Structure formats: C-alpha cells, structure tokens
Structure 1
Amino acid sequence: MTSFSEYRSQWFGNIRPDLLAGLVVALALIPEAIAFSIIAGVDPKVGLYASFSIAVITAIVGGRPGMISAATAATAVLMITLVRDYGLEYLLAATVLAGLIQIGAGLLQLGRYMRYVSKSVMTGFVNALAILIFMAQLPELDLANPGVTWLTWALVAAGLAIIYLVPRLTTAIPSPLVTIIVLTALIWVTGWDVRTVGDMGALPDTLPVFLIPDIPLNLDTLLIILPYSFAVAIVGLLESLMTQNIVDELTDTRSNRNQECVGQGIANTATGFIGGMAGCAMIGQSIINVKSGGRGRLSSFTAGVVLLILVVGLGDLVGIIPMPALVAIMIMVSIGTFSWSSIANLRTHPRSSSVVMLATVATVVWTHNLAIGVLVGVMLSGIFFAAKIAQLFRIRSTLSADGRERTYVVEGQLFYGSAEDFANAFDFREAVEVVTIDVSGAHIWDISSVQALDMAILKFRRAGAEVRLIGMNEASETLVDRLAIHDKPGALDKLTAH
C-alpha cells in the first residue's frame, strides 16, 4: 500500500518535467486516439473521450506513476465485430464490464501471475498486435474502396517519409504531429479530394457527460458482451502489465501490479459511462513520456487534460486531417511495435521458444483475438517446460550382493510428465524379497505421481515383495499421506478401476 507521503511525491516530486512530458504526449495522443477509433469502427470522439478519461483516472488510482494509458490498438481490434454487429451502445456496455473484470482481477491479486507469461509469449503478443494494426489499415489503401486513389498511396508514402526523416532534424516536435500538420496544410492548399477524419464521424465539441449505455438489461445482452469484455480485460491487463515492467526497468523503480489492475478497471468502467471505449497502457507513449522526463502521476494527468482541451477547442481543425496522415502514423506504430529482432532470433533461440512465439502470432492473426493467442502461447510454454523438466528425471537401481533386495534411487521431479517413465523403470517380474524406493533426491508434485507410486508399490506387493519407501521430503510426505491409497484396503482394485 502506497503511503500518503509517497503518493504526494508521485504527484509533485517532478513538476516541471512532468508538465512538459505530458504536453508532448498529449500532442502525440491525438492522431493515435482518432486512428484507434476508426479501427474499432466508431466516431473519433469515442477514442478521444476514452484517452482523456483513462489517462486522467489511471494517473489518480493506477499503480505505475509515469505510465500512459489511453485508447489503444490492442483493445480496438477486439471491438470491431461487436461494433459492426451490435453498435456503439453495446461497445460502451462491454467497456464497463471489462473494467469490472479488471477490478476483480486486481482485488484477487492476479497481477502476480504475470510472471508466468514467458518472454516468447510476450514477443508473439507484440508481433501479432503489430500485424493486426497494419491489417486494419488495408481498407484505407484498397483502391476498390470509394475515395481511395493513387493519391492516397502517395500521401501515405509522404507521411511515412516525414515521420522517419523529421527526427533526424529535430525531436522538439513529435514527427507524427508534423505529418498531420504538413499533410493537412497540403490538402487545404491544393484542394485535393481525399478522405478526412470528418468523413469518419463526429468529433467532440463539448466536454463528456455521464450516460448509461442504452441496451436491454437481460441475460441475452450479457452473453453478447461477456466474450468481448473478457478478451478486452485480459488483453488490456497483459499490455498494461508488460508496459509496467518496461517503465519499471527504464526508471529503476518498482510499482504495484495489483493496484494497476484495479486502476485500469476503474478507468475503463468510468470511461464506458462517458461514451468512451476501453483502453489500456500504451507502450510507445509511455516510453515517449519517460524519455521526455515524465516520472510522476502529473505527467499522465497533464496528457489527458491537455488532450481534451486541444480536441474540444480545435475540433474543426481536427476534422480536416486527411486519412492518409493517420494511416501513415498507424503503419509507423505497427513497424515500431513489431519485434524485428525476433525474426533473426529464430535461428539462435531454442526451437521450443520459437514455436511458442510463432504459434501465438499465428493464433492471434487467425482469430483476431489477442487473448486466445496468449492462452495458446502460455499453454505451449507450459507443455514445453514440463517436457524439459521430465527429461531431467531418472531412476537408478542396484541389487544387493545376496540378490534378495533391489534398491531404486529416484532423482528429479516426479509429476504427470515423468509419471510414465517412473512406472516403466521398475522390473515387477524380478524375484526379490525386498524392494526399496529411495526418493530422497526427488520431489513428488501431483496426483498423477502419487498414483504412479501407488501402482508400483502395489504391483511389487502382489509379486510377494516387501516394499520400503524412504527419503520423502516434508512436502512430498504431506501429499502422499493425503492422496496415496497403497496402504488402504482394496487399493489395487481401486487403482485398476480408474
């Protein structure tokens, strides 16, 4: 729990750098919030309201000072089908429910389980997100669509050139903002006919107000929004916690994962009630904030407030921004998000790690669901890890000089992955009087291993041998005492009945 003095320091311990960094982030948030709204299929004001709300609320109740949260591509891509099939009101309701799920995750302290998501899964997650962002731009580049011409392609190319060349001259102004200014001015002067942000939907001209999503409050509605809400909640927390780790490392500080889960949930729940879509932490903007000097809560609070002031006060100008400028920015985001080193690492990293990464990417791109891809990646990581641990398991045996006693020495981890090797290591046909199973170099983990141990003991006893089990550590002994049945009446019949 953060003390009051520490919380106050997070607000006012770095005032000037936080204010300046927040201003830079606010300028960079405008084009991205609009672009993410368009990805989701909603008016730009939905993403802009969301970015304002989420940035301000996470600044107040989040667990990671200096991290920027707003409307993101990771959550936007999950909403496309919901908006297309059911409309904006269902999106707002799904946002509220996603926030409640995230609050529950934080209260249950599920943030600690982030440590079990492997680096390969994280890399696959990021790469898949980059691919989905790029794919979402393809309709704006399809010459078969109305309003898309070769001029669109030329303007996108010009926008990309500005984005990558301007930083070589100056970093005082974010290059995405320069792209918007230059291409907007060019379209205004020449009068070229290209699609603009205003063509995509209404921009905000007033402050957001509280509203309740206009949907039927029944089980059918819950069944519609729950899959989307759950996916948004999981993906949002994954990206937020990954970003939190990055900011922790950049600032050499530590923050509260569970508090961040609650903070993200409160932000999304509140955002759904003011007409905004769900969001989460932004890796790119958070890095921009930290590199610009932002360290405290004031930086993200400033970013959100300044964003709203700029949009509400300059909405008419935002409406004439050409779509090619936003497409160029989103292509830049996808290129910057993709881990290009992961391609070269395919040749050097362990094959299992590469398979996990590629499977995560393929699943996400196939299903367009980041949560399913991460689930597949985590499951594969677990399977490969279990296989590696099982390979470290072995059993050695020695026969006494008089040939009456056989001792089996078990080494390694005895669990479901090594239970079969354990069972196959014994010679039940050997005529010995005493069998000693020494597990002092092993650990017994689960019911599968206990059952394998039961079966071995009972088979030796059935063959007429006396069985001695020695060397169990305290944890293994507790598990065996609770689950084993080899000393209970009718034990063999019970085992063979399964």
Structure 2
Amino acid sequence: ALIPEGVAFAFVAGVNPVVGLYGAVMMGLVTALVGARKGMISGATGAVAVIFAPMVMEQTEEMDYDFALTCLFTGGIVMGLMEVLFGVLKFGKYIRLVPHTVAVGFVDGLAIIIGEAQLGQFYEGSGDDKTLLQGVDMAVMIALICLTMAISIFLPRLTKAVPATLVALVTVTTITQVLSLTDVHHARTVLDYVVDMDDTVTTLAAGLPSFVVPSFRWEVLKVVLPYSALAAMVGLIESLMTLTLIDEITETRGRGNLECVGQGLGNIVTGLFGGLSGCAMIGQSMINVKAGGRGRASGISAALFMMAFVLFGSKIVEIIPLSGLVGVMFVVVWATFEWGTFSLLRHIPKVDAAVILIVTIVTVLEDLAIAVMVGCILSSLAFAWKVGKKVHCNTQIDEHGTKVYQLEGPLFFGSAQSFKTLFDYRNDPQEIVIDFRNSRVHDHSGVEAINNVTERYAQNGKKLHLLNLSAECHKLLRKAASVIEVSVIKDLDWHICDDALA
C-alpha cells in the first residue's frame, strides 16, 4: 500500500516519483526506530505534498527544477526542526485543544485540495497550450480511473491478502501496456510525466539515497519558511490524531511529545537524503495495527521492503499510467473526506456547523494552517459566549441586613459583561457580599469586572465584600492589588469583629 501512494504523492508535489519513494523509506524507517508510537506507519503523505506543491511549481517556473528541489529538501529539514522543537517544548498535549468540528472541516478541505490537484491530468500540453482531453483519450482516461477506483474500493471486501491499490495499479498498467503494444492507445505514464519535467531523464532507475547538502542561504529560507511552518503544523496534527486513534484501538497510550520529536527527526533525515517530507499515515497505520503489527519491526520491515523496490523495481514504476495514479488519489480523497459531515451538519448546533463549513472553505481557498487557526478561534469564541451567558446568582439578606449574592458560573472575559448586570447598585443595602463558593475568577477580565462593580457600589456610598475566593482567585487579586482595591472576607461573621472593635 505504501508503494503506489509514495509515487502518487510525489506526483501531487510535482517531483520525480523516486523522491516520493525515498521519502516513504526514510520517514518510515526513522520513525519506526525512534518514534513513540509502535506500530504507527509514517511516510510521504498527501497532506504534506499538497502544501509543498505550490512552492515546487512556483520555483520551477521562476528559477529551475533543481532550485525547486533544493527548496523542497531544505523545507523538509526546517519542517523537521520545528517538529523537534515542538516536542522538546512539550507542546504535543495541545493537540487536544483542536475541536472535533475543526478536525472535520480540516480533513474535508484536505480531501478537496487533493482531488482538485488531480484535475490537471485531464488536460494535455503545457502552459497556455493546455487543452482538455478529447474523444478516445478522455474516454480511456475516465475508464481507467474508474477501474482503479473500483478495484481499490471493492477488492478489500473480497480479500485483504494483497493491497487493493497495488492490484489496481498492476491491472491498469497491464491494460495500458496491451493497448500500447497493439497501437490502439498510448496512455501517459509516470516516465512521460517525469520527462515533461526534465527532458534529460530517460529512466527512473535509482540506487541508495545519497546525502544532499542542505542550503540555508537566505534566498532559500525566505521561500521555504512559510511552507515549512504550515507543513510542520499539519504534519503534527495528522500524526498526533493518528496516534490518538491507535491508542484507542490498542488500548495503550503513546507519548505525543516524543512522537513529535520522532516525526521531526524523520523529516530531517528525509530532507538530508533527498526525499519528500511526510507524517504519520492513517490508512497504512490502521492496516498495520489491524494486521497485528504492534511493534517497531513492522514499520522497519515495511521501510526495508520499500527500499528494495526502489533499487530493483524502477522499470515497473516507469510504465504505471497516470490515470491509475489519479484513480488511487481519488480513492484517497474518498477515504479522507468525512462523508458523515452532511448528516452531522443537520444534527449539531448551528455554530458548530458553521465552524465545519468555514474551516473547509478556508482550507480550500487559503491554506490548512490558517483554516485550523480560524476554526480554533471561532470555536473558542463560541464556547466563551455560550458559557458566559450562564453566569447567574441567587440573593438573600442575612441577619445583619447584608445582601449576599451567591454567584454561579465562571467569571472570565466571556461572562464579565453579564456579571456586571447582575447587581442592583441603587437599591441594595449599605453592605453587599458576593459569595464565590460556586464560582471562580479565571482571568484579568474577571478581576476588572469585580473592580468595576466595587467602584459602582462605592459611587453609591456602599461597600462590597468578596467571600469564599479560591486560592487562584486570591493570587489574581494580589497581582492586581496596585490598581484594584477590594475587600475580601473569610466568612459572613465579620460584623461581629467590627462590633467588638466599636
């Protein structure tokens, strides 16, 4: 299952398929050796390939293909360094802060982007001379894509002894070779695609990956930094979500921060040896775990088999039809897209539905990182608004004539305005107590709201006291003591002390 997708994702990124296969080998091997989640398979992925694809295309047009490759490999190394830093700083736990609605919108948008990237293969020619395939060429292209998808989707229902995508590619490759030999039709192949990029290439034959000297010149770094940051973020989100899924299946717990370091080291090594960067692969990881692959040996052996294929199977890769790879990618799109989204949108709060749609749209129109950030911000604001409206209080008058407000709900920036409307500043007695037994002050906005209420009572010649503050609330008030003056009491019997002193 790794081989066809390694080739297909290189195809998405606009680079030689060998680069994708090297990426699958190096990422798989390094993460299997040093990653925290045993049994998880990593390699070159569509999520990362689709991020670097615009950079490769842009630099190939503005400079040349070699410079684009330099940017790709350096970008992978920088991506890896960012991931290592993320793990060292123990930020892996923050993946739990990504809401499910954001994750759904993210994967839906990712699926659309990957699918959209395949549409270029329905054209022939390049640049301004591109024209849509016509007649027999279009018919054969569509037929082979449909056949690839049908085998990939339905074969697993009959047997899982062999990877369905591999069987699909072997089948369509055989068909196209027969059509070519009989002069009925010549389908564009992987080799044709590579020759279009570099007409000096005549074969995909490759040896062991060789060390690539990275370039950290400013002209390279200024190109790669935004793409690397985005790829690191997306790669870690995919990897940590995959880790969480495997944790649930195996009923064990992986170490997120260590996995971030492992993913980072994998991308650094991949960049140093001329491979396409990547992350954890959900589909392949599920295949491995469900087949009983729970240790490091499964990932290591998969990477070594991949390396053997790179060394001895290049002639096979050369004759794979592009229609077959497009079919494989459409299956990836089918599997990636959350089809339950359409039903989900009708059964969840409107705010959550809006977040899913907005994240999906922003992912397609802008990029994945901005989409995730926008989604998290919108979800946070929606949550703050919802919780903020729940703050309320019960009131009573004690034996001393003091009015006690028993506050319910959290006091923070989202509830500060509602909190200030709870009090009857003009008609309350001279002494007022706010009981925080069932409430907590969470931020400076909450403290400032208390100060505002205190001042409004003072303007009416009345005194406000705070009761049952938690240790955290006391700490916040102490920090703000230079600008905020409030009266904190331990219990409602403070009147007794005042009377005794009098």
The alignment's TM-score, normalised by the length of structure 2, stands at 0.87
The CA RMSD over aligned residues, in Å, is 1.8
SS of the equivalent of 1:149 reads: helix
Query: Which position in structure 2 is the counterpart of 1:466?
Result: 463
CA contact (8 A) 1:457 1:486 kept: no
Amino acid of the structure 1 residue aligned with 2:42: S
Correspondent of 2:112 among 110, 124, 131: 131
Take 1:60 and 1:427, find their aligned partners in 2: how far apart are those partners? 66
SS of the equivalent of 2:354 reads: helix
Amino acid of the structure 2 residue aligned with 1:133: I
Take 1:433 and 1:396, find their aligned partners in 2: how far apart are those partners? 18
How far is 1:72 from its partner?
0.2
SS of the equivalent of 1:468 reads: strand
Correspondent of 2:18 among 18, 42, 45: 45
1:81 matched to 2:54? The reply is yes
1:185 matched to 2:183? The reply is no
How far is 1:399 from its partner?
4.9
Query: Which position in structure 2 is the counterpart of 1:170?
Result: 159
- Give the gaps of 5 or more residues in structure 2: 60-67, 125-130, 195-202, 487-502
Q: Which moved more, 1:76-85 or 1:233-242?
A: 76-85
Amino acid of the structure 2 residue aligned with 1:356: V
- Give the gaps of 5 or more residues in structure 1: 1-27, 489-498
Query: Which position in structure 1 is the counterpart of 2:127?
Result: none
Query: Which position in structure 1 is the counterpart of 2:333?
Result: 334
How far is 1:146 from its partner?
6.7
CA contact (8 A) 1:409 1:439 kept: yes
Amino acid of the structure 1 residue aligned with 2:258: Q
Take 1:30 and 1:486, find their aligned partners in 2: how far apart are those partners? 65
1:72-471 aligned at under 5 Å gives the runs 72-86=45-59, 87-142=68-123, 144-145=131-132, 149-191=138-180, 192-201=185-194, 203-213=204-214, 215=215, 217-218=217-218, 220-367=219-366, 369-399=367-397, 405-430=402-427, 432-471=429-468
CA contact (8 A) 1:44 1:200 kept: no
SS of the equivalent of 2:229 reads: helix
SS of the equivalent of 1:205 reads: coil
How far is 1:397 from its partner?
3.2
Take 1:251 and 1:434, find their aligned partners in 2: how far apart are those partners? 60
Take 1:162 and 1:245, find their aligned partners in 2: how far apart are those partners? 30
SS of the equivalent of 2:169 reads: helix
Amino acid of the structure 2 residue aligned with 1:65: K
Take 2:19 and 2:58, find their aligned partners in 1: how far apart are those partners? 17
- C-alpha spacing 1:68/1:114, structure 2 compared with 1 (3 Å): same
The alignment's TM-score, normalised by the length of structure 1, stands at 0.88
Take 2:251 and 2:404, find their aligned partners in 1: how far apart are those partners? 53
Amino acid of the structure 2 residue aligned with 1:141: F
Take 2:485 and 2:173, find their aligned partners in 1: how far apart are those partners? 82
Correspondent of 1:476 among 473, 476, 486: 473
Take 1:179 and 1:43, find their aligned partners in 2: how far apart are those partners? 21
CA contact (8 A) 2:74 2:216 kept: no
1:54 matched to 2:27? The reply is yes
CA contact (8 A) 2:13 2:53 kept: yes
Identity within the alignment, %: 38
Amino acid of the structure 1 residue aligned with 2:264: G
1:14-33 aligned at under 5 Å gives the runs 28-33=1-6
SS of the equivalent of 2:2 reads: helix
SS of the equivalent of 1:340 reads: coil
SS of the equivalent of 1:408 reads: strand
| Cα displacement string for residues 345-367 of structure 1 (whole angstroms, at most 9, x for unaligned residues) | 21112323222222211110111
SS of the equivalent of 2:347 reads: coil
Take 2:156 and 2:95, find their aligned partners in 1: how far apart are those partners? 35
Amino acid of the structure 2 residue aligned with 1:251: T
Take 2:226 and 2:437, find their aligned partners in 1: how far apart are those partners? 47
Take 1:405 and 1:110, find their aligned partners in 2: how far apart are those partners? 48
SS of the equivalent of 1:83 reads: helix
SS of the equivalent of 1:395 reads: strand
How far is 1:204 from its partner?
4.5
Take 1:330 and 1:259, find their aligned partners in 2: how far apart are those partners? 31
Take 2:434 and 2:150, find their aligned partners in 1: how far apart are those partners? 71
CA contact (8 A) 1:166 1:175 kept: yes
CA contact (8 A) 2:207 2:310 kept: no
| Cα displacement string for residues 66-117 of structure 1 (whole angstroms, at most 9, x for unaligned residues) | 0010000000110112111221111111110000000000000111111111
Amino acid of the structure 1 residue aligned with 2:139: W
Q: Which moved more, 1:49-58 or 1:189-198?
A: 189-198
- C-alpha spacing 1:165/1:427, structure 2 compared with 1 (3 Å): closer
Across the two proteins, how many residue pairs are aligned to each other? 457
CA contact (8 A) 1:71 1:280 kept: yes
CA contact (8 A) 1:458 1:486 kept: no
Amino acid of the structure 2 residue aligned with 1:210: F
- C-alpha spacing 1:306/1:431, structure 2 compared with 1 (3 Å): closer
- C-alpha spacing 1:385/1:216, structure 2 compared with 1 (3 Å): closer
Q: Which moved more, 1:130-139 or 1:232-241?
A: 130-139
CA contact (8 A) 2:179 2:186 kept: no
Amino acid of the structure 2 residue aligned with 1:231: L
